[in-house]
Amino acid sequence: MSPLELGAAIGVITIVVLSTGIPIAFGLGIVALAFLVVIDGWGSLGIVADTFFGGLADFTLVSIPMFVLMGAAVASSPAGKDLYEALERWLYKVPGGLIISNIGACSIFAALSGSSPATCAAIGKMGIPEMRKRGYPDGLATGAIAAGGTLGILIPPSVTMIVYGISTETSIGRLFIAGLVPGFMLTCLFMAWSLYAAWRGGYRFKLGDLSYSLRDKLVVLPRVLPFFLIIAGVLYVLYGGVATPSEAAGVGALFCILLVVVIYGLFMRNWSPLRIWDILGDSMRESVMILMIIGSSALFSYMLSSLFVTQSIAEWIAGLDVNRWVLMAMINVFLLVCGFFLPPVAVILMTAPILLPIVTSAGFDPYWFAVIFTINMEIGLITPPVGLNLYVINGIVPDVKLQTILKGALPYMLAMVVAIILLCIFPSIATWLPNAMLGQGI
């Protein structure tokens, strides 16, 4: 069996194993061990422990549990509710302002929490019933929240970008900067479609008895502005070279916990400081899950490399006599298909180290490609059969059919495709800011 045929067999078997519902870390590990033993014999097991733990021997990985802890602290508090209320109070007179408030709240909360499901749950529990009550179609109300929740893996600080940076040995700070403008662009595309859909559907905003004074608008700001300052502070110390990603994540997590305890525990008295143990427990579970996937992916990658699958795939793609944009289109389709079945972290760890050398050799910027890669993963979060955000939304409003949610999310998927096309036509959307702030370079 040739390496390419072996790679195809590994791909099919991996998808079959993961489709059984087994945890991704265990599924990747089982497939890697099985092929190593079958092809290279039992002696190959001697390198398993070193390879697994070698994949975790990177100090930058410390930033992942810290950013997860930062997100867990925010997600456990009423911060999402306050963020939503603050935007609604300032935008309530704008036609379609409520849906803009929801998408804006999703983008900001997603950046704070770094979790798409947490964003959908936190903003959706408040926003969807309110939009439905005011006459927004079910598909539009649910689709906007499902899509808005995906923005957290693009807008920094992003755990997904950290994993990409570690797996491809690229600068995490530059990756964060590269995601800023595209994240803002994608948020604007989501808002533009939402307003058009509401207008096309004959929806007309009615103020009714709803009215907020200037005092009402200002009173909620002290509860949300500190979290904006934390985001700004984390990004500043990263981009300014003041601290490493691990240090910035640690300080950000500490300040988020302190703010939640002080604002909601001491002043507002609507949050129990005892929930700190729940925050730590949730953070530990999610961090261990991510790190287990990283370790298993290191073993999976070693298996592919030792069986010459990785090298053969790279040679085959490099040998294709096609235009580089045709090559990029093929890579995008491949990533879309992967995103249908696997979560972003798994796809990045399994494919990014293989694809990046091919992409750079074709003349594409690696940080531009990271943004393209991430938007593809965003599409996967709202497409079945995995489509985690769809099921979270369905759990919030079980009376809305999954098909309705999917239909409502479809235009936002197309908006992401438009974003990819715009990035291909104008790559400076992703590269200008990093080059301006950090200078040219890889």
Q: Residue 84: is its pLDDT beyond 80?
A: no
How confident is the model at residue 212, as a pLDDT?
A: 74
The residues near 363 (Cβ < 8 Å, ≥ 6 apart) are 324
Please provide residue 429's backbone torsions phi and psi, each rounded to the nearest 5 degrees.
Answer: -55, -40
How confident is the model at residue 414, as a pLDDT?
A: 94
How large is the average pLDDT for residues 239-245? Answer: 70
Please provide residue 210's backbone torsions phi and psi, each rounded to the nearest 5 degrees.
Answer: -75, 125
The residues near 278 (Cβ < 8 Å, ≥ 6 apart) are 76
Q: What is the mean pLDDT of the chain?
A: 81
Q: Residue 51: is its pLDDT beyond 50?
A: yes
Q: Residue 268: is its pLDDT beyond 70?
A: no
How large is the average pLDDT for residues 89-107? Answer: 76
How confident is the model at residue 426, as a pLDDT?
A: 94
364 — pLDDT class (breaks 50, 70, 90): very high
432 — pLDDT class (breaks 50, 70, 90): very high
The first and second tokens of residue 135, run together, are 């006459």
73 — pLDDT class (breaks 50, 70, 90): confident
Please provide residue 176's backbone torsions phi and psi, each rounded to the nearest 5 degrees.
Answer: -60, -45
208 — pLDDT class (breaks 50, 70, 90): very low
The first and second tokens of residue 277, run together, are 């143990």
How large is the average pLDDT for residues 76-89? Answer: 74
Q: Give the Cα separation of 213 and 207 in Å (integer).
A: 14
Which has the minimum average pLDDT: 21-30, 112-121, 243-252, 407-416? 112-121
How confident is the model at residue 386, as a pLDDT?
A: 66
Q: Residue 21: is its pLDDT beyond 80?
A: no
Q: Give the Cα separation of 50 and 24 in Å (integer).
A: 20
Quick one: which of 329, 401, 299, 387 has its CA closest to 31?
299
Other Cβ atoms within 10 Å of 153 Cβ, number: 28
Q: Residue 81: is its pLDDT beyond 80?
A: no
207 — pLDDT class (breaks 50, 70, 90): very low
How confident is the model at residue 395, as a pLDDT?
A: 81
Is 173:245 a contact under the CB 8 Å cutoff? yes
**In the chain, what percentage of residues exceed pLDDT 70?**
91
The first and second tokens of residue 152, run together, are 């957290």
Q: Residue 223: is its pLDDT beyond 80?
A: no
